[in-house]
Amino acid sequence: MSVPVLTIDGPSGSGKGTVARLLAKHLGWHLLDSGALYRITALAAQRRGIDLHDAAAIAELAAHLDVRFVGEDETCVLLDGEDVSRQIRSEQAGEAASVVAAHPAVRDALFDFQRRFAAAPGLVADGRDMGTVVFPQAFVKIYLDASAEVRGERRYKQLNEKGLHANLAQIIDDIRRRDERDMQRPVAPLKAADDAHVIDSSFLTVEQVLTECLARLGK
Ligand code: C5P
């Protein structure tokens, strides 16, 4: 019997990371945070002084990454045994991830690694191309969207709560720029799979989104 996979794709700030984590916990399934892999690849490249535009060198690096997701909910990320969970969450790390993620060779290098996360009893896979490229046979596919303004406000609130100064207009601008890069790239662009259920989370609570996803799973 094949392992059930639930994919959740969508732009940054749509809430898919939170929803994926909570769903995995609720279902007792594994979690794949594919964005973290691109963030870590970029971090590893920067640490080695590799230019983020050097596709061949970064693909080679991605193919041999020593990455592990540990902890009860598999959200603690180790690179070469070092906990980099916080470091990869910055805006700059997201930008750098989006640059390396645009190289087809880097995506190829991470493909098999991502596929191996599908293990019993099931997998919740969060990303941009989970339903379209990595797990096209997924049991259920969700595309979680929200307007750039709502996503910007969420990010702005998060940063304020952490005591970090932020400019809302700038954040919304950055979000639009990253969306544009992720949607326009020729390989594995951000888009809903034809058979995905599209949920707009702009005016929904996390609980409402969870309920909707569980209903799609028949739970
Ligand atoms: O989801 P997260 O914000 O962590 O992703 C960071 C970046 O990694 C995205 O902006 C996107 O460019 C890239 N990414 C991707 N494919 C995925 C997951 C993330 O290209 N499956």
pLDDT of 12 reads 87
Query: Quick one: which of 137, 40, 142, 131 has its CA closest to 93?
Result: 40
Q: Is the pLDDT at 192 greater than 60, yes or no?
A: yes
pLDDT of 172 reads 95
Cα diameter, the chain: 50
Hey, is 83 helix, strand or coil?
strand
Nearest atom in ligand 1 to the alpha carbon of residue 94 is: 6
pLDDT of 163 reads 87
Beta-strand pair 82-83/76-79? antiparallel
Residues 6+ apart with CB under 8 A from 175: 11, 12, 13, 148, 151, 152, 155
* Residue 66 burial class via C-beta count within 10 angstroms: exposed 0-12, middle 13-18, buried 19 and up: exposed
Pick 5-208's CATH classification: 2.60.40.1180, 3.90.550.10, 3.40.50.300, 1.10.10.10: 3.40.50.300
- Report the C-alpha gap between 66 and 40 in whole angstroms: 10
Task: Indicate the pLDDT class of residue 20, thresholds 50, 70 and 90.
Answer: very high
Query: Quick one: which of 67, 32, 52 has its CA closest to 106?
Result: 52
Q: What does the block give as tokens for 129?
A: 């191309």
Give the strand order in the sheet containing 67-70: 67-70, 76-79, 82-83
Beta-strand pair 5-9/197-200? unpaired
pLDDT of 68 reads 96
Taking only the tens place, the pLDDT of each residue in 46-71 is: 999 999 999 999 999 999 999 999 99
pLDDT of 1 reads 56
Taking only the tens place, the pLDDT of each residue in 72-109 is: 888 899 999 999 999 998 888 999 999 999 999 999 99
Residue of the CA atom closest to atom 14 of ligand 1: 35
The residue ranges of every structural domain in the chain are 5-208
pLDDT of 209 reads 97
The four Cα atoms 34, 37, 38, 40 give a dihedral, to 10 degrees, of 150
Task: Indicate the pLDDT class of residue 196, thresholds 50, 70 and 90.
Answer: very high
Per-residue DSSP letters for 129-198?
SIIIII-TT-SEEEEEE--HHHHHHHHHHHHHHTT----HHHHHHHHHHHHHHHHH-SSS-S---TTPEE
**CA of residue 194 to ligand 1 center, whole Å:** 20
Q: Is the pLDDT at 11 greater than 60, yes or no?
A: yes
The mean pLDDT value for 173-197 works out to 93
pLDDT of 3 reads 95
The mean pLDDT value for 22-32 works out to 97
Tell which one of 99, 114, 128 to mutate to probe ligand 1, the residue whose CB is within 8 A of the most ligand atoms: 128
**CA of residue 143 to ligand 1 center, whole Å:** 14
The four Cα atoms 156, 191, 92, 176 give a dihedral, to 10 degrees, of -50
Taking only the tens place, the pLDDT of each residue in 121-143 is: 999 999 999 999 999 999 999 99
- Report the C-alpha gap between 198 and 210 in whole angstroms: 13
Amino acid at 154: R
- Cβ of 178 less than 6 Å from ligand 1: yes
- Cβ of 41 less than 6 Å from ligand 1: no
- Cβ of 98 less than 6 Å from ligand 1: yes
Q: Is the pLDDT at 29 greater than 60, yes or no?
A: yes
Amino acid at 28: G
pTM: 0.94
